Structure 1
Amino acid sequence: MNQTLWIAAGLLAAVALVGGISKTFVPKAKLAAAPGGRWTRNFSVGFVKTLGVVEILAAAGLILPAVVGIAPVLVPVTATCWVLLMVGAMITHLRDDGHRRFALLNLAYLALAAFIAWGRFGPESFPA
């Protein structure tokens, strides 16, 4: 179970890192033209970039606290926050884009984060 949780956290961290880097460093116009990026048209550049930085921090929060052994409780806390972020992403995609496939992808990320939060708060929590 521990190994499965590490793999799940690594996959979710990779998703968060890629999404965060793209939102932070790719121009908003280019994001808006990409599949699933139409939602960015309704938000400011600052909001999109801030969301990107939050995603980069989430990628770090899913891995680094456990690796360095400093405040490992931040791993399930980060996963829980990711669940909330994905709820917002699903609402945004369904409302703005009407693309169910992106909402379903967000649902998969939400499920992965919920699994990590459950596992790390519960049966495979890190020692204090």
Structure 2
Amino acid sequence: MTTATPFLMFQGDAQAAIDLYTGILPGTRVLHMQRHPAPTSNGGTVMLARVDICGREFLFSDSPPVHAFTFTPSNSIFVDCNSREELERFFTALSQDGKVLMPLDNYGFSSHFGWLNDRFGVSWQLNLA
């Protein structure tokens, strides 16, 4: 069967991102981890990891070469939260040392919504379901 899986390429921060996401998002866990034989030129150690984030599989990798590009908000992870408290907890944790693109608010299409880039540059849209 043909499948499509989101692939997140980091430049040395894949393990730190995995640690953050598994620490705050319920049901998030590492399914498989393959390490580079030695740290990459940018210090990364994750060759390829399969991570279940809230029931969806993602691939993580530390790129050995340093690139002139990183993540962009045009691709984001959209999370429907079960409660306002959960949404606010996720927003606070993910936005720490990151950048808030849309603060938590009522935007008409949602009674409570926020959009941010975390400290790794990964973009998250958090919504009260």
Larger RCO (CA within 8 A; separation ≥ 6): 1
**Greater percentage in strand:** 2
TM norm structure 1: 0.28
TM norm structure 2: 0.28
